[in-house]
Amino acid sequence: MAALEIQNVRKTYGGKTEVLKGINISIEKGEFLILVGPSGCGKSTLMNSIAGLEEITDGAILIGGEDVSGRSPKDRDIAMVFQSYALYPSMNVRDNISFGLEMRKVPKDERTAEVERVAKMLQIEHLLDRKPSQLSGGQRQRVAMGRALARKPKIYLFDEPLSNLDAKLRVEMRTEIKKLHQNLGTTIVYVTHDQIEAMTLADRIAVMKDGIVQQFGTPQEIYDEPANIFVAGFMGSPAMNFIPVQIQNEGGGLVAKVTTRDGRTYSLPLGERGACLTNYVGKQVTLGLRPERVTQVNPHEVERADVMVLEAEIDMVEPTGPDTVMHIHLNGTEVSCRVAPDSAGKLGEKMNLMLDLSKAVFFDIESQARIG
């Protein structure tokens, strides 16, 4: 039985603006679902609908097999961590955590025990008597999570919980949330616009845009087999390269033609990845190639059938530390390459680069959907 099932959910404002256009998602107990997408894609609306803070226009939301679509938020057995933390300003940390228990008429001694347990787990025991205004951002974050954890609900909802923290703390809290999930085995729905958070935390990701789930799958599926150009471009940093190429049949195999800026044309051997392209021979498609597949020449890989070396002029160099990102031009589009810092060339130089097509994906130019 699914812990959370979203069936064909629609949400319209004032009968005109459709924010959610038929969402279908289902996750099992203990799974970590991430809703990711650019702002305005409907992910927060979907989360509020799960919480019951917004009514849905059509469809059904099932929690633990029960239809909760018509129920008020408090009767859905869920807890939520908000972006602004939404801690009650007039109450100290202890009361903040136990407020939900009090509202559910849990006896006082049980409440005290529960606050102790949660505080210990999140290491906020020393903060229990402070007011939210006396806490730092990271501490507030912990208290907000403590408040959600105290009730042991069926589902936890996290609405961009880390976006108010500074970069370092964000990474720390990310790890902590992941640990918490692993230790407690809770079912979590988590909204973010940060694709790294999505990749690192999720068991399943739903990539949303314009009120439609573009793709629903495991992080690796989404990274390796993106459903369309939007998903491919949204997940991964630096973003995937999209190169318009022509598919041709050369020497019994399919190749994609690319031309460098100085006019040299290369035929990229597509190997097995090209199997789905038989109907596209002689036509244009968009080749999707992640930056880490365009690297310095590694001698032990050059021999592979789906690897190709070409020489190109370097337009830009961005050192990031572990790798250096360089930009070159292929078929008139900018292509970013991820090169080991020691091998990186200088601006304006020409350099031999290795294109690994074993994970290449192809998109239809018209529909933008992945081919195959």
Partner 1 sequence: MVNQTAQSSMNWSRINRGLIYAVLLTAALFYLLPLVVMVLTSFKTMDDIRSGNLISWPTEFVFDAWSKAWSTACTGVRCEGVEGYFWNSVQIVVPAVLISTFLGALNGYVFTKWKFRGSELLFGLLLFGCFIPFQVVLLPMAQTLGLLGLANTTAGLVFVHIVYGMAFTTLFFRNFYINIPGELVKAAQLDGAGFFTIFWRILLPISGPIIVVTIIWQTTQIWNDFLFGVVYGSGDTQPITVALNNLVNTSTGVKEYNVHMAAAIIAGLPTLLVYVLAGKYFVRGLTAGSVKG
Q: How far is Cα 192 from Cα 83, in angstroms, rounded to an integer?
A: 10
Binds partner 1 by CB under 8 A, chosen from 8, 84, 175, 220 = 84
Is 78 a binding residue for partner 1 by CB under 8 A? The answer is yes
Q: Does 184 sit near partner 1 (CB under 8 A)?
A: no
Of positions 16, 39, 65, 89, contacts partner 1 by CB under 8 A: 89
- 25 is a site residue for partner 1 (CB under 8 A): no
Piece of the chain touching partner 1 by CB under 8 A; list 86-94, 108-116, 287-295, 345-353 = 86-94
Q: Which of 25, 50, 79, 119 binds partner 1 (CB under 8 A)?
A: 79
Q: Which of 109, 101, 159, 169 is nearest to 135 (CA)?
A: 169
Considering only 67-75, 109-117, 134-142, 233-241, which stretch makes contact with partner 1 by CB under 8 A? 67-75
Q: How far is the CB of 13 from partner 1 (least distance, A)?
A: 13
In the list 53, 309, 316, 340, the residue contacting partner 1 (rule: CB under 8 A) is 53
Q: Which stretch binds partner 1 (CB under 8 A): 77-85, 202-210, 285-293, 341-349?
A: 77-85
**99 is a contact residue toward partner 1 (CB under 8 A):** yes
When asked if residue 126 is in the footprint of partner 1 (CB under 8 A), the reply is no
Q: What is the dihedral of CA 212, 217, 218, 222, to 10 degrees?
A: -70
When asked if residue 200 is in the footprint of partner 1 (CB under 8 A), the reply is no
Q: How far apart are CA 58 and CA 69, in angstroms?
A: 9
Q: Which stretch binds partner 1 (CB under 8 A): 21-29, 97-105, 219-227, 290-298?
A: 97-105
Distance CA 204, CA 28 (A): 10
- Give the nearest distance from C-beta 95 to partner 1 in angstroms: 9
Least distance between partner 1 and beta carbon 92 (Å): 12
**Distance in Å, CB of 151 to partner 1, minimum:** 8
Q: Are 35 and 81 in contact (CB under 8 A)?
A: no
Q: Which is nearer to partner 1, 45 or 260 (CB)?
A: 45
3-state SS, residue 146: helix
Q: For residues 88 and 267, what is the distance between their CA atoms, to the nearest angstrom?
A: 63
Residue 84 CB, shortest distance to partner 1, in Å, is 5
Task: Please name the residue that has the structure tokens 């703390």.
Answer: 169
- DSSP bridge pairs for 269: 255
One residue of 7, 62, 64, 82 binding partner 1 per CB under 8 A = 82
Pair of tokens at residue 231: 């998903």
Half-sphere exposure of 299 (CA within 13 A, CB side): 0
**Strands laid side by side in the 204-209 sheet:** 78-81, 155-159, 187-192, 32-36, 204-209, 212-217
Q: Applying CB under 8 A, which of residues 6, 41, 51, 308 lies at the interface with partner 1? A: 51
**How many residues contact partner 1, by CB under 8 A?**
24
Bridge-based pairing of strands 241-250 and 212-217 is unpaired
> According to the binding rule CB under 8 A, does residue 118 interact with partner 1?
no
Per CB under 8 A, the list member of 74, 108, 117, 126 interacting with partner 1 is 74
Span of 79-87, 234-242, 325-333, 337-345 interacting with partner 1 by CB under 8 A:
79-87
Q: Does 134 bind partner 1 (CB under 8 A)?
A: no
DSSP H helical ranges for the chain: 43-51, 93-103, 108-122, 137-150, 167-184, 195-201, 219-224, 229-234, 299-302
Distance from C-alpha of 267 to C-alpha of 310, rounded to nearest angstrom: 10
147 binds partner 1 (CB under 8 A): yes
How would DSSP label each residue in 213-279?
EEEEE-HHHHHHS-SBHHHHHHSSSSPPEEEEEEEEEETTEEEEEEEBTTS-EEEEE-GGGGGGGGG
- Candidates 19-27, 45-53, 246-254, 271-279; binding stretch for partner 1 (CB under 8 A): 45-53
Q: Strand order of the sheet with strand 241-250? A: 265-269, 253-259, 241-250, 284-289, 361-363
Residues in touch with partner 1 (CB under 8 A): 48, 51, 53, 72-74, 78-80, 82-84, 86, 88-91, 99-100, 103-104, 133, 147, 151
